């Protein structure tokens, strides 16, 4: 039987497994299985050639029991409402596992930003914010960047929101440029948070990371900063990276600057001097100490999980591993730092950004990183202890920590 790769089905399956271990009240389980609210809308955009193209957009507020919904906006040609629902559910568990006072949400637009001119991209971004402006805000729902969106897009969305509402409210959106109230350290934050969990996992397993090898799938914001920080902070040797077009390898370690410069020049990592080409699927099965999927969902599946050769996996992407692959990895004794723990650094610094926006006073980058380290390390150990106590894999352990917190907030509010 072929595997069901619908991300929302997967997110629900993961929750079902965790609620069985927790023996959660069935009414609570039913409530947590579905998004609380979702918006589907059209975004008509005047294209450069004069015609109007209509894009479809979504915003899902999965759960806001612990605080305003929080989560990024993706621009992706294969976006679906079920992907956005799954990502919004994972945001709910993510903010809960690091214990920041936020809920979970996500947004998406079906589009290929590579096909849009800068003007079209700006009009699409502003159109997205116009569609959701009355449903977002510092106390309701706070968007952020995700796949194919960036600080400039956040700036356009912020400006559109403030133009509509007539007041300044920088905390309505995070991942902004520094000049508009962004936070120091937000750019590298997702990768930085992942680096802290990798350091803790290596300590836990007794692995020396100095000179240890690593392969990273994806070279967007997260994958590229992970390459830089794994080398600079952990002293690791990143031997392979990839983007959507293909990968590169050098057994002696890649030079982050060289890869970035080549990517800037050509739009691809392939062809970087002193590297050999490598197929994306071969990157995942390389023999390395740490494997980091940092691209998109459904990459480690029933068809390749038995070929993975790594000491542990650090999931910087959202949803890279399917439930069937999880079972194979668990049986093979390959530990995973699950996505909504490993990649929680981004939303954690987004929370710091909201705090700084609220009291209009800004912190230095080293203070951000110290506070990020404290929250990520605490979350890591909460999860590892839970998984150990209940004899479950780390993903189920992370769900147990997170679902308990969300369910308690829902119960205290008297919703269920
Ligand atoms: N898009 C990031 C994530 O998936 C960050 C979300 C945020 O900062 O709100 O965690």
Question: What's the gap in Å between 246 CA and the centre of ligand 1?
Answer: 25
Domains 38-171 and 189-342 are alike in CATH topology: yes
Q: 189-342: which CATH topology?
A: Rossmann fold (3.40.50)
Question: What's the gap in Å between 151 CA and the centre of ligand 1?
Answer: 13
Report the chain's terminal Cα–Cα distance, integer Å: 37
Atom 8 (ligand 1) nearest CA: 347
Bridge partners, 105 (sequence order): 61
Question: What's the gap in Å between 347 CA and the centre of ligand 1?
Answer: 5
Cα 88 from Cα 93, distance rounded (Å): 9
| Backbone angles phi and psi of 5, in degrees to 5 | -105, 15
Nearest atom in ligand 1 to the alpha carbon of residue 175 is: 8
Cα 396 from Cα 389, distance rounded (Å): 12
Nearest atom in ligand 1 to the alpha carbon of residue 344 is: 10
Cα 56 from Cα 108, distance rounded (Å): 9
> Which residue among 84, 190, 225, 354 has the greatest number of ligand 1 atoms within 8 angstroms of its CB, and so is best to mutate?
190
- Treating both helix axes as pointing N-terminal to C-terminal, what angle do 365-390 and 345-359 enclose, rounded to 10 degrees? 130
pLDDT of residue 253: 98
Contact 242, 265 (CB under 8 A): no
Question: Hunting for tokens 């954690």 — which residue is that?
Answer: 348
Nearest atom in ligand 1 to the alpha carbon of residue 70 is: 9
pTM: 0.98
CATH architecture of residue range(s) 38-171: 3-Layer(aba) Sandwich (3.40)
Tens digits of pLDDT across the chain (416 residues): 689 999 999 999 999 999 999 999 999 999 999 999 999 999 999 999 999 999 999 999 999 999 999 999 999 999 999 999 999 999 999 999 999 999 999 999 999 999 999 999 999 999 999 999 999 999 999 999 999 999 999 999 999 999 999 999 999 999 999 999 999 999 999 999 999 999 999 999 999 999 999 999 999 999 999 999 999 999 999 999 999 999 999 999 999 999 999 999 999 999 999 999 999 999 999 999 999 999 999 999 999 999 999 999 999 999 999 999 999 999 999 999 999 999 999 999 999 999 999 999 999 999 999 999 999 999 999 999 999 999 999 999 999 999 999 999 999 999 99
Classify strands 104-110 and 52-63 as parallel, antiparallel or unpaired: antiparallel
Contact 3, 302 (CB under 8 A): yes
Question: What's the gap in Å between 36 CA and the centre of ligand 1?
Answer: 19
Question: What's the gap in Å between 30 CA and the centre of ligand 1?
Answer: 25
Contact 145, 153 (CB under 8 A): yes
> Which residue among 67, 79, 175, 355 has the greatest number of ligand 1 atoms within 8 angstroms of its CB, and so is best to mutate?
175
> Which residue among 89, 141, 187, 350 has the greatest number of ligand 1 atoms within 8 angstroms of its CB, and so is best to mutate?
350
Which residues are marked as active site? 106
Question: What's the gap in Å between 346 CA and the centre of ligand 1?
Answer: 5
Atom 9 (ligand 1) nearest CA: 71
Nearest atom in ligand 1 to the alpha carbon of residue 347 is: 8
Question: What's the gap in Å between 21 CA and the centre of ligand 1?
Answer: 28
> Which residue among 11, 68, 70, 72 has the greatest number of ligand 1 atoms within 8 angstroms of its CB, and so is best to mutate?
72
pLDDT of residue 333: 97
Cα 87 from Cα 294, distance rounded (Å): 15
pLDDT of residue 2: 82
pLDDT of residue 1: 61
Cα 191 from Cα 197, distance rounded (Å): 10
Nearest atom in ligand 1 to the alpha carbon of residue 318 is: 4
CA nearest 190: which of 6, 315, 60? 315
Nearest atom in ligand 1 to the alpha carbon of residue 143 is: 9
- Domain ranges (residues) in the chain: 38-171, 189-342
Task: Write out residues with Cβ below 6 Å of ligand 1.
Answer: 70-72, 94, 144, 146, 174, 318, 343, 346-347, 350
Cα 90 from Cα 34, distance rounded (Å): 12
């Amino acid at each position: 039987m072929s595997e069901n790769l619908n991300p929302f089905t997967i997110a629900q399956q993961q929750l079902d497994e965790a609620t069985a271990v927790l023996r959660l009240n069935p009414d609570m389980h039913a409530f947590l299985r579905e998004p609380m609210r979702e918006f589907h809308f059209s975004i008509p955009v005047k294209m450069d050639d004069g015609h109007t193209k209509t894009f479809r957009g979504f915003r899902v507020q999965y759960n806001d029991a612990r605080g305003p919904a929080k989560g990024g906006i993706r621009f992706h040609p294969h976006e679906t409402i079920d992907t956005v629902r799954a990502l919004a559910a994972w945001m709910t568990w993510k903010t809960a596992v690091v214990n920041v006072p936020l809920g979970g949400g996500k947004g998406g637009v079906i589009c290929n930003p590579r096909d849009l001119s800068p003007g079209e991209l700006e009009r699409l971004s502003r159109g997205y914010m116009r569609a959701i402006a009355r449903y977002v805000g510092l106390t309701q729902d706070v968007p952020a960047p995700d796949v194919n969106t960036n600080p400039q897009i956040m700036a356009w969305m912020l400006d559109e929101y403030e133009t509509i509402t007539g007041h300044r409210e920088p905390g309505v959106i995070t991942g902004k440029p520094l000049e508009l109230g962004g936070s120091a350290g937000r750019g590298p934050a997702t990768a930085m948070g992942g680096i802290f969990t990798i350091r803790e996992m290596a300590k836990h397993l007794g692995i020396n990371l100095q000179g240890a090898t690593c392969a990273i799938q994806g070279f967007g914001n997260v994958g590229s900063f992970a390459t830089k920080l794994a080398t600079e902070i952990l002293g690791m040797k990143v031997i392979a990276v990839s983007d959507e077009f293909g990968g590169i390898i050098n057994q002696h370690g890649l030079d982050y600057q060289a890869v970035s410069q080549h990517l800037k020049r050509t739009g691809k990592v392939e062809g970087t001097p002193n590297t050999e080409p490598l197929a994306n699927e071969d990157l995942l099965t390389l023999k390395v100490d740490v494997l980091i999927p940092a691209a998109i969902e459904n990459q480690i599946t029933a068809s390749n999980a038995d070929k993975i050769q790594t000491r542990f996996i650090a999931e910087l992407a959202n949803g890279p591993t399917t439930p069937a692959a999880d079972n194979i990895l668990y049986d093979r004794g390959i530990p995973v730092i699950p996505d909504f723990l490993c990649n929680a650094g981004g939303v954690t610094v987004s929370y710091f950004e909201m705090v700084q926006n609220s009291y209009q006073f800004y912190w230095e980058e080293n203070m951000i990183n110290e506070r990020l380290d404290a929250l990520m390390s605490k979350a890591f150990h909460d999860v590892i202890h839970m998984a150990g106590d209940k004899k479950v894999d780390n993903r189920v352990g992370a769900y147990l920590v997170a679902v308990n917190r969300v369910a308690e907030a829902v119960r205290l509010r008297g919703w269920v």
